[in-house]
Amino acid sequence: MKYRKLGRTGLTVSALGFGASSLGSVFRDTNDEEGIRAVHEAFDAGINYVDVSPYYGLTKAETVLGKALKDVPRDRFLLSTKAGRYGADEFDFRAERIASSLEESLRRLHTDYVDLMFLHDIEFVPASIIVEEAYPALLKLKEQGKIRFAGICGLPLELFEKLVPRLEPDVVISYCHYSLNDSSLLELLPLLEEKGVGLVNASPLSMGLLGTRGTPDWHPASPRLKAACREAAELCAARGADIAKLAVQFSTSNERIPTTLVSTANPANIRNNAAWVDEPIDEALL
């Protein structure tokens, strides 16, 4: 497993991180015991960073992850969670709710601090709330030692361009913008590097877009993009390759992107994903 520095935090993160959303049965019904084994398999494969949120599975992901982490030495992993989003249309970025949300997360996760805490999907509320109340609430929790570093998470890259200079967060999570079908995250890197902001990339499979199974109904991609990605996946399959492998290798191979989160509750899947990071990429297929 490769490891890289996460901006100015000084933390060293594995190139592949474990996204725990799958533990909340977000993508399919999952078995809790199997999910717990997947977490342990991730650690055994060299992954040292785990990300979760109370939103995933409406607290189920944190609960299952907490069971998995219970008997793992705390210095063996870096842990992040989020606050602000709690349901499909439930958002609360008030300072008092962020503080209480963290306390609830700490209980579920069986720890007394998290390494990183993010404001979750900040594009759904006015930027003024994030700047004037929510992010200052994270800084207060940081002063109290309950979180080590504070960050923001969202989909639109323009939001980071707007808020990173104002907030200068320790770290950001961006998803679906550094994958085989979309590398627009590269445009944000100069700003993040200038400010020393750590970067967590997520969803190298673009929320199921890069595969042969087809995307869920809610997926925002256009029919044209879905067809193009399906064609690419079928090309890989025809050549005896798995587009998931190519996608994971592509997203983790860029040294300027510290870590990329993948989410699975399947022990074999996370073991394979971790092994792919160290294998040479098929340049011709790419």
CA-to-CA distance for 156 and 20, rounded, in angstroms?
22
Residues of the chain by 3-state class (helix, strand, coil), percent to 5 = 45, 20, 35
Token pair recorded at residue 139: 């800084």
Q: Is the Cβ–Cβ distance between 157 and 176 less than 8 Å? A: no
Give yes or no: 56 in active site: yes
- What stretch of H or E contains 5? strand 3-5
Token pair recorded at residue 207: 């929320």
Sign of CA dihedral 211, 214, 219, 225: positive
- The catalytic position among 56, 86, 135, 175 is 56
C-alpha gyration radius of the chain = 18
Tell which residue, 35, 40, 60, has the closest CA to residue 274: 40
Residue indicated by tokens 């990071």: 277
CA-to-CA distance for 154 and 267, rounded, in angstroms?
28
CA-to-CA distance for 208 and 26, rounded, in angstroms?
12
Residues 6+ apart with CB under 8 A from 90: none
Residue indicated by tokens 């913008």: 177
Tell which residue, 60, 69, 66, has the closest CA to residue 30: 60
Q: Whole-angstrom distance between the N-terminal and C-terminal Cα of the chain?
A: 21
Show which residues are catalytic: 56
